[in-house]
């Protein structure tokens, strides 16, 4: 018998219906736990972070070799400049050498 508009038997039926509906919507595997998928996501995130760190480390390894290449390039540039200045010195001494062997112009009428 209902008190006011409330009927105890129909309310119990509604509650039991909701419980059966909820049990149907949950996964059938009773060992499933939402925390497991959370841990899987965390572990994949950690794997991504580790691979990112490996990439950063390899990038750092590349940087010193890049610096070594730049240093050797600078050494090559300086030696190239030294060669250029040596060639200029050779050119000037060669022109001095040539000028000392120029024939003396003959005087006209002489």
Per-residue pLDDT reduced to its tens digit, 8-51: 555 555 656 655 555 555 555 566 677 777 778 888 888 888 88
The average confidence (pLDDT) of the chain is 73
pLDDT at 27: 52
**Dist. CA 20–CA 14, nearest whole Å:** 10
Alpha-carbon distances of 54 from 1, 19, 61, 64, rounded to whole Å: 73, 50, 10, 16
Residue corresponding to tokens 């010195």: 89
* Per-residue pLDDT reduced to its tens digit, 45-104: 888 888 888 888 888 888 888 888 888 888 888 888 888 888 888 877 777 776 666 666
Positive or negative torsion for Cα 58, 61, 65, 68: positive
User: End-to-end alpha-carbon separation of the chain, Å?
Assistant: 157
């Amino acid at each position: 018998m209902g008190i006011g508009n409330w009927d105890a038997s129909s309310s119990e039926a509604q509650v039991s219906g909701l419980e059966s509906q909820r049990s149907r919507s949950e996964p059938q595997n009773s060992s499933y736990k939402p925390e497991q998928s959370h841990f899987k996501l965390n572990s994949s995130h950690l794997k991504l972070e580790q691979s990112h760190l490996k990439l950063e480390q390899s990038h750092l390894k590349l940087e010193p070799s890049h610096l070594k290449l730049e240093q050797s390039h600078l050494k090559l540039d300086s030696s190239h400049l030294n060669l250029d200045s040596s060639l200029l010195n050779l050119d000037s001494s060669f022109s001095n050498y040539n000028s000392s062997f120029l024939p003396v112009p003959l005087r006209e009428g002489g």
